[in-house]
Structure formats: structure tokens, C-alpha cells
Amino acid sequence: MELTSNSPPPDNTSSFILCPTVATLFLIPSTYTLLFLAALPGNALSLWVFCRCIPSVSPVHVYLSHLSASNLMSALTMPFLAAYYALGSIWPLRSVPCWLVLHLITPQLHINIYISLIILTLVAISRYAALIQNTQAPRPNTRSTLVPYRFFACLKRTSFARRMGAVVWVLAVGGIVPVTLYYSVKEATAGTDGDAGGGGVGVCYSPPVELGGRLSAAFTAPLMIVFFVFYLLVLLCYMIVLRHIRRSRRSTNVPTSHILLGRVLRNIVIIQVVLSVCLLPYHIFKPIFLSLAHHPHQPTFSPQPNMCHPLSALIELKNFLLLLAALRGATDPLMYFMLDKTFRSETRRLLRCNKTDPGGRQMFWSVTGSQSAGQAVDVKVETVDSGDNDVL
């Protein structure tokens, strides 16, 4: 193929087709299917435990219940994503499956990403505030806090957590849905009104669908800024907590405090690794990908019928990194189980067939999730014992 140095950029992406490899046709669909099988029961169980089984709900549990609900909705989209990558190159653009992917699945996937980002940031700030409060005076020194004292006090209230959860949903849905609808109605169908015979025109898995247009690409810039602001805020919060833990270790001689501080250190590492592995690569690569897609700086191939798009490999890489972002929704229940003692305890009791506590007393749960009077004492003791351990 010849390079035409004076030819204009190939704005008409319908001249090209995408050439999916085995990674797109088999590996990504298979992984989405496995994620669906893990994420659906895991997040359904997590949501049930947070909403029905925990007798004393903390603000962190409220945040995590919203995260589980978002993950559960995202899990329901994974079979459609698996079908899209496996069959999208033969689906007509105007078919019902393609319409579902463009108008429903794509918005929900991105809504889940940013809901999880904001909620995990709120969890980080909430645990930071709780740790500072439990290890300092009732009114902490303003130099040791990241937030004003009034907001510091609000973080302890469950009602505040419920309101913040609603605000997170409104912001995520209101900010993402309009742009994704414009993308799916205007940009993804631009120049693809013909049949599927020429140049990949009219099929679902095509360059216009995968690349989008300039407006949705421009909207990606503020989203990337939002991500890195929240990501760095979480990182800063946990780094300050880590420094506080190190100082507390040098100044305390209580053995249980050392155990608690060690557990918090482990929690910090696990959460930061989850965010860095699952969400960070996608948000680093996405601006680079869009810059190459919409602002080419090098000579391009002269358009020819049925020629593979020059960014086909990068499109597959982008889809793989998006898969990593979706992976977080399937691993969150495991993270809850590892980091939250109350969640771990209630999950074990819920899954235990005989529902008997270690002391031999039988547990009785009503439809509303209330406990018998005999178990009330155990719950009270466990709440006192695990109050400091519930540091997610």
C-alpha cells in the first residue's frame, strides 16, 4: 500500500473495517462471561447482606451498598458485551442487539466506573476521619484533617451517607447519559446508513462505533480530569493515614492497637492496588487513544475498500483495558469479605446452613432482618469489638 503524504486525514471511517483478532472474538467475550458468573451472585449477596443482615449499619456500609447495587446493574450488561465482541462484526447496525449495546449497555458501563470511583473516594475520606477521631481528641486538630470539621462530623452520620449516595447517582447519570446518548444516536451511526457489504458499513462493531466522534472525545477530557482528581485524593488520603498509623505505632504500647493498625495498613494496600490495576490503565490510555484517533499527525494510507483500520490493534487494547475496569465490579465482593469484619461475619452466618454462632446459640432472622433477643447481646459485644476493625 502506498503512503500519500498530501492526502487529508481519513475522516470517513466507513472506508475502513475493523479486523478483530482472537482476542476480540474469543478472549474478551469469554472473560466477560466469567465475570458475569462471578459478579452477579457476588454482588447480589453483598447487597442483601448490607441491606438486610447487618444489624447496625455504618456510613461505610451505606456507601458499599450503593456500590454493590451499581456493580449488580453492571453485571447484567456483561452477557450483552460478550455477545457484542463475539458477534458485533456481523450484527447489522440497526439490529436490536446493537441498539441495546449502544443505548443501554454503554451508558451503564461508564456510569458504574464513575460511581465506583466517587464512592471509594467517600469511603477513603470516611475511614480517614474515623481513624483520626478514634486516635485523637474529640475535636481533631485542623492541621491533621483534610476536610473542615463540620464535614468531618457529617461523615459519621448514616443519614449523610444516604444523601451522598443519592447525589453520586444523580451526578453520574446526569453527566454521562446525555453524552452517551448523543454518541449512540449521532456519532456511532454517522456515515453508516448503507448495507453491510462495503467497507464494514452498517455493522455494529465498526470504526464509527468504536471511535465515536469529536464531541464525545472532547467530553472525555473533563472525565479524565475528574478521575485523576479523585484518584489522587484517595492516594493522598491513604498516604496521610499511613503516616498517622506509623506515628501511632511509635507512640502506643497497646497490643490490640498494633493489630488494628496492621490491619489498616493491609486494607490501604489492597484498595489502592484494586484502583490502580483496574481503573488507572484505562484512564491513562483513553486520552492517548482518542488523540491518535481524532488528531492524526502522520501520513495516512489512501482509503481502499475493505481495508483494515490502522487503529484496529489499539481499539482491541482499549477494549481490553475497559474489561479490566469492569473486572473491579466482580472482585469487589471479595474485597468486602477481606477488609470488613462485619460483612465477613454476617456473610458466613448467612451462608451457614445451621446458622449457629460459635457459642452454640441458634440465630433466627425475620423477613425484615431483625434478630432474636438472645442474639442481641452477641451483636452488641461484636459491635464493640469490631468497631475499630471495620476500617475499609
CB-count exposure of residue 213 (10 Å: 0-12, 13-18, 19+): middle
Q: Say yes or no to pLDDT of 307 above 70.
A: yes
- Residues 191-226 have pLDDT tens digits of 544 433 334 457 899 888 888 888 888 888 888 999
| 3-state class (DSSP) for residue 3 | strand
pLDDT at 78: 94
Tabulate helix, strand, coil % of the chain (nearest 5). Answer: 70, 5, 25
pLDDT at 360: 39
Q: Which helix (H) or strand (E) holds 307?
A: strand 307-308
pLDDT at 193: 45
- Residues 325-338 have pLDDT tens digits of 999 888 888 888 87
pLDDT at 243: 78
Q: Which residue has the higher pLDDT, 282 or 249?
A: 282
Written as one letter, the residue type at 108 is Q
d(CA 240, CA 124): 11
pLDDT at 48: 92
pLDDT at 15: 66
CB 336 within 8 A of CB 343: yes
3-state secondary structure 91-139: CECCCHHHHHHHHHHHHHHHHHHHHHHHHHHHHHHHHHHHHHHHHCCCC
- Residues 45-100 have pLDDT tens digits of 999 998 888 877 888 889 999 999 999 999 999 999 999 999 998 999 888 999 99
- Hey, where are the domains in the chain? 17-386
In 183-213, alpha helices (H): 207-211
Q: Which whole number is the average pLDDT over 290-299?
A: 69
DSSP string, 12-52: -GGGEE----HIIIIIHHHHHHHHHHHHHHHHHHHHHIIII
Beta-bridge mates of residue 203:
92
Ramachandran assignment for 199, one of left (phi > 0), alpha (psi -120 to 50 degrees), beta (any other): left
Written as one letter, the residue type at 123 is V
Residue with the three cell numbers 469529536: 214
pLDDT at 310: 86
CB-count exposure of residue 344 (10 Å: 0-12, 13-18, 19+): middle
Q: How many helices (H) and strands (E) does the chain have?
A: 15, 4
Rg, the chain, Cα only: 25
d(CA 212, CA 216): 7
Predicted TM-score (pTM) of this structure: 0.79
- Residues 146-155 have pLDDT tens digits of 556 677 677 7
Give residue 376's pLDDT band: very low, low, confident or very high (50, 70, 90): very low
Give residue 2's pLDDT band: very low, low, confident or very high (50, 70, 90): very low
Residue with the three cell numbers 457459642: 359
DSSP 156: T
Give residue 43's pLDDT band: very low, low, confident or very high (50, 70, 90): very high
pLDDT at 291: 87
pLDDT at 208: 86
pLDDT at 143: 46
- Residues 161-197 have pLDDT tens digits of 899 999 999 999 998 988 888 888 888 776 544 433 3
Report the share of the chain in percent with pLDDT over 90.
29
Averaged pLDDT score across all residues of the chain: 76
- Residues 344-368 have pLDDT tens digits of 888 888 887 544 444 433 333 333 3
pLDDT at 258: 62
Q: Between 3.40.1080.10, 3.30.530.20, 3.40.50.300, 1.20.1070.10, what CATH number should domain 17-386 receive? A: 1.20.1070.10
Q: Say yes or no to pLDDT of 11 above 50.
A: no
pLDDT at 6: 39
Q: Say yes or no to pLDDT of 254 above 70.
A: no
pLDDT at 40: 94
Give residue 10's pLDDT band: very low, low, confident or very high (50, 70, 90): very low
DSSP 101: I
